[in-house]
Amino acid sequence: MEHFTCRTVADLALPGPTTGRLTILALYGDADAGSDLYSALHASGPAQLVLDLGGLHRLSPTAAETLYRFAASAAAHGRPMLLVGCPAEVAAVLARARPPGVSGHEQFPTVSEALAAVLARTLVSAAPSGARPPPLELRPHVLLLRHALLARALVGRAQGMLMERYGLRDARVAGALLWAVAREHRAAPLRLAAAIIQAPAPRPGARWFPGRGPAARPAVGFVTAPADRPLPLPVFLDALRDAGCAITHTHAAGVQLIDPSDNTLWLESSCGLPAEFVRFFAVTGDTGTCCGEAARKNERIVVDDVASSPYFDEPSRAMVLAAHSRSVQSTPVPGPAGRPQGVLSTHHERPGHVFTGTELGALDAVAREAGAWLDWYRTTTLLDALEDLHRRARAR
């Protein structure tokens, strides 16, 4: 039987619920005994629960019944329980264990979507006479908390996977290992955590990726890298951002990378944009903005006038206009299998900004170079870091 673990990813104070608390728990491994699951749920105390089941390999029928009993008790106290990332096998067990006349658990694909739903409900319940808060009021709460929560959930899941795979005694040890390897390879811990989650699990053996040879670093014209070591990813993304500014003659630009697990765009580098803008667009979906539209359609989007563009929802439009941006272009950065892996956007103060054919061609060229470099980075630097992590964890 595989080890079952539960990690508290976040414990947030929110308006609305009876207790004013929302706790996000991530479950890992094999939930075979109902008593183990009950202990993990009960330890959260009187809080509304969001359960991230993405790391759960197996849920026994006994544990599923325990989950339903706990959910019924929580709902009776005004604390409905939400499930996230439920694997198909676990969902099938839950469906078979569901008591007659009881509705199934509310499920969401990602933690961020569950959080957005909870926030929407709690802010509505806190509003006078049940009136719905205006979107501009709701959006910052959702984005700020979602940004922090996604990062914590990502690292928490990676720590849980390391504990399960290598028998590490607790999350503190797993976290220290992750941070040490990230520092050694000059990689962001969040990026390394994402690589741990997205890479296939290592097979028995001394290497995680056997047979992998060195790959030649692709040529990039807009930045010079040392010959003996790769550029850190943040430095490279800053150079890509500056290249976009130089090509389009602006001082305001941003580079986003796409998380393929849920198609969210993470603002990794920006310049010339106010702090409120950066916080607001720290994490976005693929709708409601021109950058999201460019990512979703995998084609460049040019906005002549932000004030009237159909690509923006109203909260996003208000924030972009407040940053004195009236014209925007968003160019996808190519990725593997024909899907984009990022977006380079530039902002311009006057509506109707005209981009010349030479400028658009140059944007396409730097996007292709950036895509090739990011492919190389993912398959060399990050895999080197994963190999090092595998070696260190096996040695413990």
At residue 307 the predicted structure's pLDDT band, cuts being 50, 70 and 90, is very high
Whole-number pLDDT of residue 127: 53
> Does domain 4-140 correspond to CATH entry 3.30.750.24?
yes
Question: What are the residues facing 12 on neighbouring strands?
Answer: 22
Whole-number pLDDT of residue 104: 77
Report CA Rg, the chain.
23
**How far is the CA of 117 from the CAs of 50, 169, 174, 363, in angstroms?**
11, 35, 31, 37
pLDDT over 90 percentage in the chain: 43
Range from 13-22, 84-93, 345-354 carrying the lowest mean pLDDT: 13-22
Asked if residue 386 lies in contact with residue 209, where contact means CB atoms within 8 angstroms, the answer is yes
- Alpha-helical regions (H) of the chain: 34-42, 61-76, 88-97, 111-126, 135-166, 171-184, 189-198, 233-248, 275-280, 290-297, 314-322, 357-379, 381-394
The span from the CA of 94 to the CA of 105, in Å, is 9
Domain ranges, ordered by start, for the chain: 4-140, 233-379
Superfamily of domain 233-379: GAF domain (3.30.450.40)
Residue 52: alpha-carbon gap to chain centroid = 14
Neighbours of 143 (CB within 10 A): 20
Average pLDDT for 31-51? 83
pLDDT digits (tens, 9 = 90+) for 131-169: 554 444 445 555 556 666 667 777 888 998 999 899 998
Return the H-helix or E-strand segment holding 106.
strand 106-108
